[in-house]
Amino acid sequence: MTTIVVGGHSRNVGKTSVVTAIIAAWPQYSWTAIKMSSHWHNEGTSSDRNTKLETCRVDEECDHNADTDTGRFLAAGASRSFWIRIRDGRMEDALPRLLPVLNSNPYVIIESNGIVRHMQPSLYLMVHRYDVEDYKDSARETIRYADAIVAVNYRRTAPSWKGISSDIVSGIPIFPVPDPRVLPQDLMEFIRLRLV
């Protein structure tokens, strides 16, 4: 099984755009695309009380026109698309529910940081957006596993991201991209070598 994981140092840095660009570039692989998060909507409403008790929730997206990240995966050419929500710190408890989805296709692409603490993907790309100063804990904990950095709005001097020194990212290949929806040829070749 070939598994690509795309993480990012913060929200809205281009992770979904990178995922959709990869899916669109290799449509012959009939991807299963997964967005993992710990974000749960509407927990305060009485109609969603039971979700407070759930460790893991797996929702499959079937609408190619849905205005969601999982809808964008389908529109890019994924054969299946899932939104998987897991409570913080409960990944190990959720793995039995995840494994059937992860093993459902020879080509899986996952938007997540935390999953790399529990599996070794074929390729882990970390999206860094140089005009966003926030650096979330899950990215700080997993940057050392990154095979490459997709650098949006790249500058030679990175922002002063809290807890991230230049030593941590030294040796990790950096691929500057002006637009995460369009991957440069050198990054495409880097990814292609992991798909064979």
DSSP annotation of 170 reads T
Tokens of 129: 């957006």
> Nearest 5°: phi and psi at 68?
-135, 165
Nearby residues of 73 by Cβ (< 8 Å), 6 or more positions away: 16, 19, 20, 23, 31, 33, 35, 61, 81
Residue 74 has pLDDT above 80, yes or no: yes
C-alpha 193/C-alpha 196 separation (Å) is 6
Tokens of 17: 């755009």
Give the torsion through C-alpha atoms of 133, 135, 136, 138, to 10 deg. 160
pLDDT digits 0-9 by tens, 25-71: 999 999 999 999 876 554 444 445 455 567 889 999 999 888 999 99
pLDDT digits 0-9 by tens, 96-145: 888 889 888 999 999 999 999 999 999 999 999 999 989 999 999 999 99
DSSP annotation of 163 reads T
The whole-number pLDDT of residue 55 equals 84
The type of residue at 15 is: K
User: Residue 8: pLDDT band by 50, 70, 90 thresholds?
Assistant: very high
Tokens of 73: 């995966």
- 89: phi > 0 → left, psi -120 to 50 → alpha, else beta; which? left
DSSP annotation of 89 reads T
CA angle 166, 88, 42 (to 5 degrees): 120
Q: Are 69 and 17 in contact (CB under 8 A)?
A: no
C-alpha 80/C-alpha 159 separation (Å) is 37
Put simply, whether the predicted model's pTM sits higher than 0.85 gets the answer yes
